[in-house]
Amino acid sequence: MTGPDTAYTTVRARLARVCADLDDLLALVPRGAVDRVLATARELTAEPARVAAVHSALDELEEHVRRAGVAGWSTHRGPRPDALPGLGDGRAIEEVCVCPRSLCARVDDAAADPGGDPLCQVWNARMPRVRLDR
């Protein structure tokens, strides 16, 4: 299945990877490639032209990462973006931290960092906690 909703969901998942790995990316690729992703991400809506612009910027970033020697950076690591983290023992996480503007699909276990909520690298803001339904 393809279409606008699928493209929007996919771009949000790709942005989640950028947010989680931003410090490493900045050490690996030209700053301009990262800045382009961040600039287009800040304008993201479900509108197909905006989704395509973010995908284009992400594709460029992915190429820089590949040229730096890291193949499949955004597609072959970590859990699937739509999977809930931390379900190893069968107990659901009660609180998670999410993108502050619902821009990407990043979800972090709120209990994983007792020192504070993680930082969204796109907006330079703390990721708010959301309580999951039991």
User: In angstroms, rounded to a whole number, what is the distance separating the alpha carbons of residues 125 and 60?
Assistant: 25
Q: Per the domain annotation, does 81 fall within a domain?
A: no
Position 70 scores a pLDDT of 78
- The range of the structural domain enclosing residue 106 comes to 95-131
90 falls within a domain: no
Cβ atoms of 102 and 15 within 8 Å: the answer is: no
d(CA 121, CA 71): 22
Query: In this structure, are 10 and 63 located in the same domain?
Result: yes
Residue pLDDT tens, the chain, 134 long = 455 578 898 899 899 889 888 888 998 899 999 999 999 999 999 999 999 999 999 999 998 988 888 777 776 444 434 433 444 444 454 788 888 888 888 888 887 777 778 888 888 888 988 877 54
* 84 within domain boundaries: no
Number of compact structural domains in the chain: 2
